[in-house]
Amino acid sequence: MSTAELKEVAKRLRRHVITMTATAGSGHPGGSLSAAD
């Protein structure tokens, strides 16, 4: 997997983390966002 592909996967993961946290109405996305990086 290239660097560009990894960056795209990380970007999608961060979007999913924010969406899921907002949909749940609770939670702290910090740890998950750090893991994506």
* Mean pLDDT, all residues of the chain: 95
Percent of the chain's residues with pLDDT above 90: 92
Which pLDDT value is given to residue 37?
Answer: 84
DSSP category for residue 37: -
CB 37 within 8 A of CB 7: no
What pTM value is reported for the model?
0.80
**Tens of pLDDT, residues 17-33:** 999 999 999 999 999 99
**d(C-alpha 27, C-alpha 17), whole Å:** 10
What are the residue ranges spanned by the domains of the chain? Answer: 3-31
First CA to last CA across the chain, in angstroms? 16
Question: Quick check: 35 and 17 in contact, CB under 8 A?
Answer: no
Residue 23, SS3?
Answer: helix
